[in-house]
Structure 1
Amino acid sequence: MENRNLMIWIVAIVCFFVLMFVTPSIPQDQDYHNFADQRQFLGIPNTLNVISNIPFFIIGVIGLVLCYYKNFFKLSLKGELCGWTFFYIGVAAVGFGSSYYHLKPNDATLVWDRLPMTIAFTSIIAIFIIERIDERKGTYSIIPLLLVGVVSILYWRFFDDLRPYAIVQFVPCIAIPVMAIMLPPMYTHSTYWLWAAGFYLLAKVEEAADDTIYNWTYHIVSGHTLKHLCAAMVPVFLTLMLAKRDVLPERVSLLQVWKISWTKYKQNGVTTENETITYTSVPYEESRV
């Protein structure tokens, strides 16, 4: 097991350096700061893009409080509390960092938008390792993963190269849904991870369609504003999951559950098709008057 884990880390590191050598650097596109909705209300520049970050702060604070309120989330593994604490700190900080960035969008302020998001992303990866792979290794991975996220931001800022940050941001987008499906969970309500991933994917689509959505809605709301609201649903679903879940008596992956359900569905379908209805003939005797 130790040798296999070591090989996985070696392969991952080698792949990262190969990717860095064979791909060109990705500078920050300055058009990224040119959002569709630049309206100002009550003296606040880019008002809707600023205030749409408030949900992040609210859910971040709520989650942080519930982490420490009489163990409301019933966290039972070593390192879970630390991982979820960093996650909710990152979420709450997004409320400030993203608002600060949208007041005056540029590379310097963008750092404070991306940094808390990176903290949240890397914390989630550590939490998955704790819950579904190895409790001790997951706990030890929290700080290294956070440092990797911070270094990716610093690398972009000093070298104007987004490649490390892109890996830190998009690898969790792929890894988390895959792990949620393939790896047996310790707790119930594991499908909430997929709901969270779905809303994050929707948020990325809305971000890409910023101008298009702004025109479709007749300049009522932009895609980037909707992106903030959908992305805020990610911690909402994860908080609901934490509040509802219980420890599973038997660990079965979602993939196995789906396979069993599909097998039962097919069997029931075949049974229904092959069912024959038998009628019993009752002799009729005409009554005599």
Structure 2
Amino acid sequence: MLNVISNVPFLVIGIIGLILCHYGNYFKLSLQGEVWGWTFFYIGVAAVGFGSSYYHLQPNDARLVWDRLPMTVAFTSLVAIFIMERIDEQKGTASIIPLLLAGIISILYWRFFDDLRPYAVVQFVPCIALPLMAILLPPMYTHSTYWLWAAAFYLLAKILEAEDKPVYELTHHVVSGHTLKHLSAAVVPVFLTLMLAKRTIETERVSLFMVWRSSWTKVRKDEIRVQSSEYHVVSNQE
């Protein structure tokens, strides 16, 4: 039953995100493509609340389609959003429908041909590509680190899913890893919603990698300067 109840946060944050996307443009989305991309994302998140609950009430392959489909909509929407923000606005907008269709087709292919490979590509490639893009490509907006926090919680969710039984035993059969996986995964749209609420247009588009590199270089220079000063003090004392 906890595997069902733990899906409620998806429904809540999905509905909140949809409202904030369209009510007075609270997120201040500057591109029409972004409005569509984030709308599909939050629709996918809200639908996870229904689809995953429906599956866990009576697990079987027919119901699993409705568990995986909303997640695929959310994933593919994020890829399109990233293309808009980090590569090209028009290409990102044009990619929304093809990416959504690719995700849906991967689900249908699995259902009819019992082959998970296309679905695995649709699900796991973004898990690798999006954090890398967040680090390496200059952002259009501030608060890019929220993408990495979201990715970290999704990674935690996958770990909890893989360690389902050990977590269940560790908690003395109170809560399973799969239930905690739902809660951890629900934190992902929470971070992205906070990012949308806080961010502004980035005036100086510098990638996180370059920011980190600059900070590391400055730290190293400060360390060398301190060591040099200490050396001169010791030398003068001698």
Normalization by structure 1: what TM-score?
Answer: 0.79
Corresponding position: 1:143 with 2:97: yes
Q: Deviations over 1:129-158 (max 9, x none)?
A: 000100001000000000000000000000
Partner of 1:34: none
Query: What is the root-mean-square deviation of aligned Cα atoms in Å?
Result: 1.2
| Identity across matched positions, percent | 73
Contact 1:78–1:136 (Cα < 8 Å) also in 2:
no
- CA positional deviation for 1:272: 1.2
**Quick one: which of 60, 63, 81 aligns to 2:17?**
63
Please list every run of 5 or more consecutive structure 2 residues that lacks an aligned counterpart in the other structure: 234-238
Q: Give unmatched runs, 5+ long, in structure 1.
A: 1-46, 280-289
Q: Find out whether 1:169 has 2:123 as its counterpart.
A: yes
Per-residue CA deviation, residues 97-134 of structure 1 (Å, 9 max, x unaligned), is: 00000000000000000000000000000000000100
CA distance in 1, matches of 2:224, 2:20: 48
The AA in structure 2 aligned to 1:84 is W
The answer on 1:268 being equivalent to 2:222 is: yes
1:122 aligns with 2:103: no
1:201 equivalent in structure 2: 155
Q: Secondary structure at the match of 1:72?
A: coil
**For residues 210 and 129 of structure 2, what CA distance do their matches in structure 1 show?**
18
Moved more, 106-115 or 265-274: 265-274
Does 1:187 find its partner at 2:147? no
CA distance in 2, matches of 1:172, 1:122: 8
Conserved 8 A contact 1:67-1:81? yes
| Rounded Cα–Cα distance in structure 1 between residues aligned with 2:223 and 2:199 | 32
Q: Does 1:160 align with 2:160?
A: no
Match of 1:89 in 2: 43
Measured after TM superposition, the shift of residue 74 of structure 1 is 1.0
Partner residue of 2:186?
Answer: 232
Give deviations 1:57-80, integer Å, cap 9, x for gaps.
Answer: 000000000001211111112300
- Rg larger in 1 or in 2? 1
Bigger helix share: 2
Instruction: Indicate the residue corresponding to 1:35 in structure 2.
Output: none
CA distance in 2, matches of 1:131, 1:101: 34
Q: Structure 1 runs of 4+ off > 6 angstroms?
A: none
1:248 maps to which of 202, 214, 227: 202
Deviations 1:13-57 (A, max 9, x none): xxxxxxxxxxxxxxxxxxxxxxxxxxxxxxxxxx10000000000
Provide the residue aligned with 1:3 in structure 2.
Answer: none
Report the alpha carbon displacement of residue 276 of structure 1 after superposing the two structures with TM. 4.6
Count of matched residue pairs: 233
**Cα deviation 1:148-192 (Å, max 9, x = unaligned):** 000000000000110100000000000000000010001010000
Cα distance in 1 for residues equivalent to 2:161 and 2:146: 23
TM-score (norm 2): 0.96
